Amino acid sequence: KKILILNGPNLNLLGVREKGIYGDQSFESYLEELKAKFPGLELSYFQSNSEGAIIDKLHEIGFNFDGVVLNAGAYTHTSVAIADAIAAITTPVIEVHISNVHQRETFRHHSYLSKNCKGIIVGFGLDGYRLALASF
Ligand code: DQA
């Protein structure tokens, strides 16, 4: 199965940014662990800080991949455009958040994306990506 892991803004700084919330491992290093855990999956990875690039990527793979694991970062809470892109494509999307957004500021409690996603995994740290992959 072809699966894309798609990370949004500021997630390029994992391992550097707010370590108390997001941990001290870089995503690149964690991705190697995921590849080893799921030898049967064809895993691709894309990260962008820009909303348009995330939407372009969803359009590009959204009719030919088997799944997307999406952490849209703060765009989760603001982006009707990403929500619409998820609705437009046929590939199922799983929404992941490293932190438990419901324990944090109120503005993080609402996601524009969840309604259009197959499922949501929140608050399990980086392990949330593994849990999402295990569902495919
Ligand atoms: C996040 C939660 C968002 O509220 C935040 O803006 C992020 C990361 C998470 O993975 O916990 O950038 O999506």
What domains can you pick out in the chain, each with its CATH number? 2-134 (3.40.50.9100)
In angstroms, the CA 41 to CA 43 distance is: 6
Residue 85 is predicted with a pLDDT of 99
- CA 84/CA 82 separation, integer angstroms: 5
Q: With a 6 A CB cut-off, is 62 part of the ligand 1 pocket? A: no
CA 28 vs CA 44, 45, 85, 111, 118: distances in Å: 12, 9, 26, 26, 25
10 alpha carbon – ligand 1 mean position (Å): 9
130-136: average pLDDT: 97
| Residue 5 confidence (pLDDT) | 98
Ligand 1 contact, 134 CB (< 6 A): no
Note the pLDDT tens digit of each residue in 59-113.
999 999 999 999 999 999 999 999 999 999 999 999 999 999 999 999 999 999 9
Specify the ligand 1 atom closest to the Cα of 104.
Answer: 4
For the CA of 128, the nearest atom of ligand 1: 10
pLDDT above 90 coverage of the chain, percent: 100
Mean pLDDT computed over 24-33: 97
ipTM of the complex: 0.99
With 0.95 as the threshold, say if the pTM is over it: yes
Q: What integer pLDDT is reported at residue 133 of this predicted model?
A: 98
- The residue from 22, 30, 75, 112 that is catalytic is 22
* Contact by Cβ (8 Å): 131, 121: yes
Q: Is 110 annotated as a binding residue?
A: no
